[in-house]
A and B are shown apart, each in its own frame.
Chain A
Amino acid sequence: MKALQSVLLALALMVSGVAAADVGVPHLDIGKGGHCVNDPKFMKLNHGDLLKKQRYITVHQGVIGRYSLINCVNCHASKVNNSVLGTNSNFCQGCHVYAAVKIDCFECHSSRPETVSQTLKEVAK
């Protein structure tokens, strides 16, 4: 009986293990990636708030900070379609489709990186 119990327990664990792997985070194309401005776990939880704060500082005070949407897109646009949108593996769309949270950032903002102007490059140094 005890042997049967342990077999069942092991099976249950295996099944849940498989299930957990299946419902994990979507496989994202993170584009160029590299060092994010913060720890990725922190960014996953807080990028919305950071962007909201940054947008006020940028629009009203004219300070282009490290949490700018341009920075996000420049690093995380897929190398396949040069965008953070398009398919469910693209960086922004992938997670937001999975989490069923609608984003309207890209109705106005560009979802593609552009060869940045000379001024931007100079300042970024």
Chain B
Amino acid sequence: MSEINRRDFLRGSAMMAGLAVAPGMMLYDLARANQPASSAVRWGMLIDTSQCEEGCDDCVKACNKENGLPGKTGPTDEQWIRKVELKNVKTGRVTSLPMMCQHCAEPPCVDVCPTGASFKRADGIVLVDRHLCIGCRYCMMACPYKARSFVHEPLHDQKPEVPRGKGTVESCTFCVQRIDRGKDITACAEACSKAGHKAILFGNLNDPNSEISKRLKEVASTQLRADLGVDPGLHYEGL
């Protein structure tokens, strides 16, 4: 008999019926969990700035809670996601949007890293391997989006699923600890839809049938600083 492992079996049964094993979690999510990250997937986001409410920072709070960040906003504090408010001085129109690591297809932070600590996973998530990071902060200077933070102070009581430490650089991970466990929604996107704004849509850009791909096909969207040619995984709508 050919070898059928548990995951293949689960995947097969998930195809027959997308059984929900927990609220918001389907059986096929479990099947994909613990498979190596594959380039069949490219994680990305579509941010609808017209839905993003001025003054709301639920996404920032959710990120801090999920990843055990202090939530301070000083010049040396770690911030993985920031709320930015832009004002067109000529028209007076104010746009509110979240800014974070853009998970570029051609990430400059990876190009400059001298130790290989800054890397892009097969599924498009740009991460720092903190085992290799020497804290030189080249990547922070190379990033056109100012997305990375350096940990200046010793840390205590980190979350088991999100190890962080002094002397290394870090940034948004697309909640990789969730994705690797089969939960395909980031904390910020979850919080945003919970607040009723639904401004952040997270999904697989490589799957033409995913919600994000369908929406990107319909609406006018833009990548920030598209002129740099780094092909960010984040798309903004209504800018």
Q: A residues touching B (Cβ–Cβ < 8 Å)? A: 55, 57-65, 70, 73, 107-110, 112-114, 116-120, 122-123
Contact = CB atoms under 8 A, between A and B. Distances in A.
B237 interface: no
Is the contact region of chain A dominated by helix, strand, or loop, or is it mixed? helix
Contacts of A107: 154, 165-166
B176 interface: yes
Contacts of B182: 119, 122-123
A58 to B, nearest CB: 8
B11 interface: no
Given A108-B158, A108-B165, A120-B161, A61 B36 contact: yes
B132 to A, nearest CB: 9
Interface string B116-144: 00010111000101110000000000000
A72 to B, nearest CB: 11
A119 B121 contact: no
B106 interface: no
B75 interface: no
A59 B37 CA distance: 10
A110 B121 contact: no
B34 interface: yes
A63 B36 contact: yes
Interface residues of B, number: 36
A110 B181 contact: no
A63 B157 CA distance: 24
Contacts of B123: 62
A63 B180 contact: yes
Nearest to B68: A110
Interface string B1-45: 000000000000000000001100100001001111100000000
Contacts of B181: 64, 117, 119-120, 122-123
Contacts of B34: 63-65, 123
B25 A61 contact: no
B160 A109 contact: yes
A62 B161 contact: no
Given A109-B160, A119-B183, A122-B25, 20 more contacts: A57-B36, A64-B34, A70-B160, A70-B161, A73-B160, A107-B166, A108-B130, A108-B158, A108-B165, A110-B158, A110-B159, A112-B160, A118-B22, A119-B25, A119-B181, A122-B21, A122-B22, A122-B182, A123-B30, A123-B33
In order of increasing CB-CB distance, the 6 nearest A-B pairs are: A108-B165, A61-B36, A62-B37, A108-B163, A110-B160, A119-B181
A62 B176 contact: yes
Contacts of A58: 180
B164 interface: yes
Contact of B36 (A55, A62, A110): A62
